[in-house]
Structure 1
Amino acid sequence: MKRDDIVELRRSHEQFRLLVQGVADYAIYMLDQEGNVSSWNSGAERIKGYMPDEIVGRHYSAFFSPEDVARREPWSNLQAAKDEGRLETEGWRVRKDGSRFWAHVVLDRIDDESGKFVGFAKVTRDVTEQRATARALEQAREALFQSQKLEAIGQLTGGVAHDFNNLLMAIHGNLELLTQREDLPAKARTLVTNALSGVRRGVALTQRMLAFARRQRLQLEPVNLADLVYGMSDLMRTSLGPSVMVEASFPLSLPAVLVDPNQFELCLLNLGVNARDAMPDGGTVTISGRVESVREKDVRGLNPGEYVKLSVADTGEGMDAETLARATEPFFTTKGVGKGTGLGLSMVHGIVQQCGGALLLSSTPSGGTTVDMWLPVAIHVGSPVAQIVVSDPPGVTAAPSGGKTILVVDDDPLVLSTTVEMLCFAGYDAAGAASAKQALSLLGASPGISVVVTDHAMPGMTGVELAAQLAETHPGMHVILASGYAELPGDTPGVRARLQKPYGRSELLAAIRQA
């Protein structure tokens, strides 16, 4: 070889050495045939923490975790690269100081000019941050997908519950009218009473469906969760049985949260029953709370602010990943036929979200289940809108309205005819309209109408819009707004009282007296 060629070759080698040494973001080094380190660049020194004199000559298995070494992964990787010519993989690696990082690794087989195997070239990159970012993005996508799925199910469930409300109301109203007949035989009265009990169970079912769909009306107020939990401890112990121990753990000072206390007691009772069913041989249910701050909107959908995180944990059988992913869906249950509706956990999910919070489940098979609920701290609380809940004593009817006529407006013919019949049976003069437009025509032709009972969800013009128009055109009109949904404005012009569907005769008459 000529002298100039030798000089050029040396210069090329030196440039290559400087190039490899200058790469600080990649650990680039060589291994001999057995896997011992034979070269070391500045990137390897930065990423792994070893100086060249500390690592050259040592086996590269020093970069692996003890569990990977126990599985002989370093040697299997070398064999795979030798057989295939190249191996690309990712996994946890260990620095000199013992800390771990997620590494992207390329291991290439090196042959000399004659084709003889002489060792390996290894390139390692620290991708811990990229992996964390990718996982956070995947979690956000999964949370969005889950939210969209639950929103779609919620819309379907809310629509079904609304139609169920109308059907149940028609059945309930007509059955109640039958019970008021003096000529009803005793045996028939028993059958009607049994049917009414079935209707009430159906009403409770639709209320749970509406709670999941976040369309149930809640009466939010500041509540001290510790007081609420301790106050219902006897009820919890009685409901869960002697084999389940209930423990509560709260800090000395816990801010009040904004919830509906009655509905939230029902939530805790549902969670307790679920925990009991997951512990057939008994166990412990632990209810705890602490304050948490949310600085920016996160994957749980929480707005920035102060929250109380309430956790209900059991020591039961737990759930696998597939069951956990569907646990909050309505009608999904792992219990036997007739042992559960599958609406308990979905109801809790809907109520917590309607309170402005979030719910998160964590569970592993044989590791128990924890339900975490983030509830907003009550800072500025407005006055809740009152709702008619007054009931008549048995056998008492409202006094007729002095010849005045009550107009019932509902697009469902069953609900319309049943409500008119209930009012007429109570001694009122009642008329019906199948739409807001028809109601306005009747009001123009019948000046004796003084009360309007209107449904909200109607095509063309809603009950709220009808009430607002009547407030301008008939300022003395008493409007009662009936709805099974919660998303109604708090301050509705012209509305004197509200009715929660499905309502019975006593609720209807109480609302009329209120209006």
Structure 2
Amino acid sequence: MAIPDRRAPALIFAPVGRDAQIAASLLEEAGVPSHTVPDLAALLRMLGEDVSLAVVTEEALRFADLRELSAWVTAQPSWSDLPFILLTQRGGGPERNPAAARLSGILGNVSFLERPFHATTFISMARSALRGRRRQYQARLQIEALDESERRLQTALQAGHLGAWELDMGSLELTASETFRRIFGRGPDAGFGYHDMIDAIAPDDSPGVRRALEATIETGADLAIEVRLPSPGGAVRWVEMRAQIYRELNGLRIRIIGVCADVTERRRNEESQRQINEMLEERVAARTAELETAHADTMAEIAQRQRAEEQLRQAQKMEAIGQLTGGVAHDFNNLLMAVLGNLELLHKHAGDDPKAIRLIDGAIQGARRGASLTQRLLAFARRQDLHVTPIDIKKLVGGMEELLQRSVGTAINMEIDLPDGLPPAMADANQLELALLNLAVNARDAMAEGGTLRIGLRRDEGCDHPEDLDEGSYVVLSVTDNGKGMDEDTLKKAIDPFFSTKELGKGTGLGLSMIHGLAIQMKGMLKLESRVGQGTTAELWIPSAGQDLQSEVPAAEAAVPAPDAKAARAEPLVRRILMVDDDVLIAMSSVDMLEDLGHQVVEANSGEQALDILASGQPFDLIITDYSMPRMTGAELAREARRMRPEIPILIATGYAELPAGTELNLPRLSKPYSQDQLSAEIDRALASSPEAAAAASPRQ
């Protein structure tokens, strides 16, 4: 709903004398249209939200029945407070006129103007009232925007099958969504409080929930716990509960706000996988025993086979977990795409309301934390989007020295050995910095009483690098501590996702698995060595570039010409864009962001629909398509679109780092979730990298 402009009408109720004529004339001079009403009944009929103000004379209301008028004023929406200008008798202001003062309590937002009055005074008072009314209209828009944001958030929660809950720690009042109640086996109308929630949890798990809540309040750490929900029939369901603490500004009221999800199916899959692994291990053990009994001498070969089988099982397990993790992260990226895009646009239209801005910023920060978690999951699954270029690791590590020292604290003595003559390494600089910082923080946590952290670099030309690596030259980044170390069993599980030796809520268990996935994706490896009581050494093996840093020009930079200075100062061009995504939430969010940038957008929700639109001959400057769509993928759509309309550049949006084998499309990609700035930049890059399409596309106003 738009804000009414200065032409919103005013109502005049002055049935005696020339007051109505004078007021209408002065309002017209101020640019405000007006309607004169003959009686109180007509005034009540015309009152509404689109009325800017009302001008009333004291004598018109003095002996009237004002109960209906008072009821209308009281029943206004929370944002509305219609301003009244009350014209009183000469010398009859509210201070000396009890009858006029009585009207103040009935009309509410009333300004008194004694007659005779100067025209300038009346116009000034009317304009002041109009400004106040426009602020009310602005408040209405903000309230409606917040309501829309809440509706979209609820849609995202429902799409992810997440139950929302909120617990007031002072009163233990529990507020739960319908999905949350359904997960806990309660209907939407059934009574459901904190004690009901605790009673629904398995007795062995409920103390852990209380301890987790207490720890969250005491430390401020996020709550993350899985509990069992037994049913009368004996079946057990698993529920994951995650939440954060929220303190009001006065610090007196503390609330826990979070979500929950039914993870029973995931638990069953894990249990099935565990049983399969145990069965395989039993078969291998039985077969090994047979071979040992029958052939006490082909043992070396058996031992080698055992190692190979163990490596194969581990590889299969990690690959299965990686596929599952990557899929979950990809789907969650889609949800975050819709949430972040809508919140970013809402932030632009929040105006100057500090509370609205604070609430939106809080939601954006929470969504970005979710995006950070999905990036870790994609790193483990080796599906994150890396920008691998030759980098000087010595310069990178040296530039992080101050940050590393601050991160590990003064109780840790840090020693850095960075020799000269190291070749450049092929790596993603940003991800490598995060990996080094993660390893340093892990080392710090292993030395609770203090110790020494050693960071070193060396070059390996194939003399002693692990057999799992390809032949070639590597740069080895090592992080060594003299902390508590790990035993053999812990070391074997160290890179498993979500495995952590830290307390609940102190870490995600994705640090080492993320670094392991990063190393594999960069065609290197992570090597861990540890002894209990002696410390741990983590080595990140990275392939060397095999060339001088000065000769390397990243492909992305070489492909895009430098922008012309005159073009950079020109007004942004309006592009006509075909937006293709089968997910309605993402399509709606992306279309809103594109239109907010000033582009003209046509939306399609499948590849087939997009091809029909292209076949109609409509002009387009760019096609943006999601990759993962049913029936026709973004890659298949791109091939058909190039055959039909080769002049139109195409931008692929995806949450994966690499498209599946066989796509063979050299297309620019937009990584999900993306911001409006990233979307704008990738559009410019896609158009700049396709000079034929850019020349054929004409800007449309």
Task: Provide the TM-score with structure 2 as the length reference.
Answer: 0.50
Q: Is 1:323 the equivalent of 2:490?
A: yes
Q: Is 1:461 the equivalent of 2:632?
A: yes
Contact persistence 1:219–1:384 (CA under 8 A):
no
Change (3 A) 1:476 1:505: same
Q: What SS does the corresponding residue of 2:453 show, helix, strand or coil?
A: strand
Counterpart residue identity of residue 607, structure 2: A
1:253 Cα offset (Å): 2.6
5 Å-filtered alignment, 1:229-240, equals 229-240=397-408
Counterpart residue identity of residue 509, structure 2: G
1:309 Cα offset (Å): 2.9
Please name the residue that 2:471 is paired with.
304
Q: Is 1:474 the equivalent of 2:645?
A: yes
Task: Identify which of 410, 420, 424 aligns with 2:595.
Answer: 424
Q: Is 1:175 the equivalent of 2:379?
A: no
- Counterparts of 2:400 and 2:302, CA distance in 1: 44
1:383 Cα offset (Å): 4.0
Residue-by-residue CA offset, 1:61-93 (whole Å, 9 max, x unaligned): xxxxxxxxxxxxxxxxxxxxxxxxxxxxxxxxx
Q: Which shifted more, 131-140 or 468-477?
A: 131-140
Contact persistence 2:350–2:356 (CA under 8 A):
no
Change (3 A) 1:254 1:140: farther
Please name the residue that 1:360 is paired with.
527
- Counterparts of 1:476 and 1:437, CA distance in 2: 19
Q: What SS does the corresponding residue of 1:284 show, helix, strand or coil?
A: strand
Task: Identify which of 679, 686, 695 aligns with 1:508.
Answer: 679
5 Å-filtered alignment, 1:89-488, equals 133-182=301-350, 185-294=353-462, 300=468, 302-379=469-546, 383-385=554-556, 401-402=573-574, 404-488=575-659
Counterpart residue identity of residue 449, structure 1: F
Change (3 A) 1:140 1:257: farther
- Counterparts of 1:295 and 1:412, CA distance in 2: 52
Q: What SS does the corresponding residue of 1:305 show, helix, strand or coil?
A: coil
Residue-by-residue CA offset, 1:154-206 (whole Å, 9 max, x unaligned): 11111011011000010001111211215574322211111001111111111
- Counterparts of 2:307 and 2:480, CA distance in 1: 23
Counterpart residue identity of residue 363, structure 1: S
Change (3 A) 1:406 1:332: same
Contact persistence 1:484–1:501 (CA under 8 A):
yes
Counterpart residue identity of residue 466, structure 1: L
Q: What SS does the corresponding residue of 1:309 show, helix, strand or coil?
A: strand
Counterpart residue identity of residue 632, structure 2: M
1:145 Cα offset (Å): 2.0
- Counterparts of 1:207 and 1:450, CA distance in 2: 31
Q: Which shifted more, 357-366 or 481-490?
A: 481-490
Contact persistence 1:483–1:499 (CA under 8 A):
yes
1:241 Cα offset (Å): 0.7
Counterpart residue identity of residue 146, structure 1: Q
Contact persistence 2:614–2:645 (CA under 8 A):
no
- Counterparts of 1:359 and 1:335, CA distance in 2: 21
Contact persistence 2:604–2:610 (CA under 8 A):
yes
- Counterparts of 2:472 and 2:536, CA distance in 1: 27
- Counterparts of 2:464 and 2:643, CA distance in 1: 44
Contact persistence 1:399–1:427 (CA under 8 A):
no
- Counterparts of 1:325 and 1:178, CA distance in 2: 47
Q: What SS does the corresponding residue of 1:147 show, helix, strand or coil?
A: helix
1:295 Cα offset (Å): 8.2
- Counterparts of 2:494 and 2:455, CA distance in 1: 20
Contact persistence 1:292–1:308 (CA under 8 A):
yes
Counterpart residue identity of residue 333, structure 1: S
Counterpart residue identity of residue 437, structure 2: L
Contact persistence 1:287–1:313 (CA under 8 A):
yes
- Counterparts of 1:324 and 1:405, CA distance in 2: 55
Change (3 A) 1:278 1:352: same
Residue-by-residue CA offset, 1:5-64 (whole Å, 9 max, x unaligned): xxxxxxxxxxxxxxxxxxxxxxxxxxxxxxxxxxxxxxxxxxxxxxxxxxxxxxxxxxxx
Contact persistence 1:408–1:430 (CA under 8 A):
yes
Change (3 A) 1:476 1:214: same
Q: What SS does the corresponding residue of 1:138 show, helix, strand or coil?
A: helix
Please name the residue that 1:81 is paired with.
none
Change (3 A) 1:316 1:200: same
Counterpart residue identity of residue 469, structure 1: E
Q: Which shifted more, 217-226 or 343-352?
A: 217-226
Contact persistence 1:471–1:494 (CA under 8 A):
no
- Counterparts of 1:170 and 1:443, CA distance in 2: 26
1:465 Cα offset (Å): 3.2
Q: What SS does the corresponding residue of 2:372 show, helix, strand or coil?
A: helix
Q: What SS does the corresponding residue of 1:449 show, helix, strand or coil?
A: coil
Counterpart residue identity of residue 490, structure 2: T
Q: What SS does the corresponding residue of 2:473 show, helix, strand or coil?
A: strand
Change (3 A) 1:489 1:143: closer
- Counterparts of 1:383 and 1:401, CA distance in 2: 28
1:488 Cα offset (Å): 3.5
1:278 Cα offset (Å): 0.8
Task: Provide the TM-score with structure 1 as the length reference.
Answer: 0.67
Change (3 A) 1:492 1:477: farther
Change (3 A) 1:184 1:458: farther
Q: Which shifted more, 438-447 or 134-143?
A: 134-143
1:424 Cα offset (Å): 2.2
Residue-by-residue CA offset, 1:68-124 (whole Å, 9 max, x unaligned): xxxxxxxxxxxxxxxxxxxxxxxxxxxxxxxxxxxxxxxxxxxxxxxxxxxxxxxxx
- The RMSD of aligned alpha carbons is 3.1
Contact persistence 1:226–1:250 (CA under 8 A):
yes
1:512 Cα offset (Å): 2.2
Change (3 A) 1:267 1:416: same
1:405 Cα offset (Å): 2.7
Q: What SS does the corresponding residue of 2:500 show, helix, strand or coil?
A: coil
- Counterparts of 2:403 and 2:618, CA distance in 1: 54
Change (3 A) 1:269 1:297: closer
Q: What SS does the corresponding residue of 1:291 show, helix, strand or coil?
A: strand
Change (3 A) 1:399 1:167: farther
1:440 Cα offset (Å): 0.8
Q: Which shifted more, 312-321 or 178-187?
A: 178-187
1:441 Cα offset (Å): 0.9
1:298 Cα offset (Å): 6.5
